[in-house]
């Protein structure tokens, strides 16, 4: 399920920030933790107590702003079981500092509400290279490095379950590593931009020139996402992490037309809370 489909950290009414959840046998695997991820899970009807694994693609605030909050709020909602978090450094330090920052609330709730200690529940695994991330009864997760200069490392993740294989690109320029990771997958969720609209997007902010160069260097156009999906031979392409996220001139039809130029399979224009 797509929880947030807008690209960039600026809060918007149109869409929430990057986050996805895969649910298998009532176990929740969350990929990225943009602003509002815990509330989006509530809207999605996924109990926060089923949170088991968190995967961060890269350390940018539109993907990690609510990383700590997701854990803290799930715990406040009754989570008493282990959570493993996987992602690039400094994930361990971010986790430690989150607990430190929220020590007052945590200690109060343990003393006052009988909560279990939160710190021992959370196991952090910093990853610097691609490969097999983890495997359990439901799913095997593999990752690869993608191209998101200057944010290094940045990962895409692949989830192979019994009945489904799903790849989430994270943010990346067109990536051959991603093509390899996604080969033959049922679903590829790819971040996309629409280059003709980037000038209008950056015109709204003060650091326009630098922002434009950054976006163009680390995002993939919807047309190229279609090319990559075709090359990887995926069954369905899901467009998400839209840049720009809220330009009325860039309609669903525009995204579809671009992605279909090179991809012959079904294309889905992502929406918050859409179940694929
Ligand atoms: Zn992003």
> 218 alpha carbon to ligand 1 midpoint, in Å?
9
Helices (H), the chain: 37-44, 61-64, 67-76, 91-101, 103-113, 176-182, 198-202, 208-218, 222-232, 252-259
Pair of tokens at residue 180: 């390899």
User: What's residue 276's pLDDT?
Assistant: 97
What predicted TM-score, i.e. pTM, was given to this entire model? 0.96
> 115 alpha carbon to ligand 1 midpoint, in Å?
34
User: What's residue 210's pLDDT?
Assistant: 86
8 Å CB contact between 35 and 11: yes
> 170 alpha carbon to ligand 1 midpoint, in Å?
7
**Residues linked to residue 262 through DSSP beta bridges, in sequence order:** none
pLDDT in tens, the chain (276 residues): 999 999 999 999 999 999 999 999 999 999 999 999 999 999 999 999 999 999 999 999 999 999 999 999 999 999 999 999 999 999 999 999 999 999 999 999 999 999 999 999 999 999 999 999 999 999 999 999 999 989 999 999 999 999 999 999 999 999 999 999 999 999 999 999 999 999 888 888 778 788 888 888 899 999 999 999 999 999 999 999 999 999 999 999 999 999 999 999 999 999 999 999
> What is the 3-class SS of 31-42, one letter each residue?
ECCCCCHHHHHH
In the block, which residue shows the tokens 């692949």?
158
> 75 alpha carbon to ligand 1 midpoint, in Å?
26
CA distance 253 to 152: 33
User: What's residue 6's pLDDT?
Assistant: 96
User: What's residue 201's pLDDT?
Assistant: 85
**Residues linked to residue 29 through DSSP beta bridges, in sequence order:** 22, 53
> 92 alpha carbon to ligand 1 midpoint, in Å?
21
> 167 alpha carbon to ligand 1 midpoint, in Å?
16
CA distance 177 to 2: 23
> 248 alpha carbon to ligand 1 midpoint, in Å?
20
Long-range pairs, 120-124, Cβ under 8 A, ≥24: 121/75, 121/79, 121/80, 121/81, 121/82, 121/83, 122/71, 122/82, 122/83, 122/84, 122/85, 122/95, 123/82, 123/83, 123/84, 123/85, 124/84, 124/85, 124/91, 124/92, 124/95
User: What's residue 57's pLDDT?
Assistant: 98
**CA distances, 258 to each of 8, 223, 240, 247, 265 (Å):** 21, 5, 14, 16, 13
**What would you report as the CA-atom Rg of the chain, rounded to the nearest whole angstrom?**
18
> 34 alpha carbon to ligand 1 midpoint, in Å?
9
């Amino acid at each position: 399920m797509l929880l947030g489909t807008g690209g960039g950290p600026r809060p918007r009414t149109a869409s929430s920030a990057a986050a996805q959840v895969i649910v298998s046998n009532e176990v929740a695997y969350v990929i990225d933790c943009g602003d509002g991820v815990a509330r989006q899970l509530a809207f999605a009807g996924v109990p926060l107590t089923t949170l088991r694994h968190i995967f961060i693609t890269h350390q940018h605030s539109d993907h990690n702003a609510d990383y700590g909050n997701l854990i803290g709020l799930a715990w406040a909602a009754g989570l008493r079981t282990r959570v493993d978090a996987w992602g690039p450094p400094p994930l361990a330090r971010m986790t430690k500092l989150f607990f430190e920052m929220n020590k007052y609330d945590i200690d109060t709730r343990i003393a006052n509400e009988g909560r279990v200690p939160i710190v021992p529940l959370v196991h952090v695994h910093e990853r610097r290279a691609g490969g097999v991330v983890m495997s359990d009864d439901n799913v095997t997760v593999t990752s690869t490095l993608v191209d998101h200069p200057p944010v290094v490392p940045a990962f895409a993740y692949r989830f192979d379950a019994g009945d489904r294989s799903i790849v989430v690109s994270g943010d990346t320029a067109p990536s051959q590593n991603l093509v390899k990771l996604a080969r033959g997958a049922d679903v590829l969720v790819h971040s996309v931009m629409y280059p003709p609209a980037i000038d209008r997007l950056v015109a709204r902010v003060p650091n326009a020139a630098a922002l434009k160069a950054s976006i163009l260097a680390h995002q993939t156009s919807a047309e190229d996402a279609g090319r990559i999906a075709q090359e990887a031979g995926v069954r369905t392409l899901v467009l998400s992490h839209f840049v720009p996220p809220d330009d009325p001139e860039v309609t669903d039809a525009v995204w579809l037309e671009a992605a279909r130029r090179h991809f012959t399979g079904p294309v889905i224009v992502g929406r918050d809370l859409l179940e694929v």
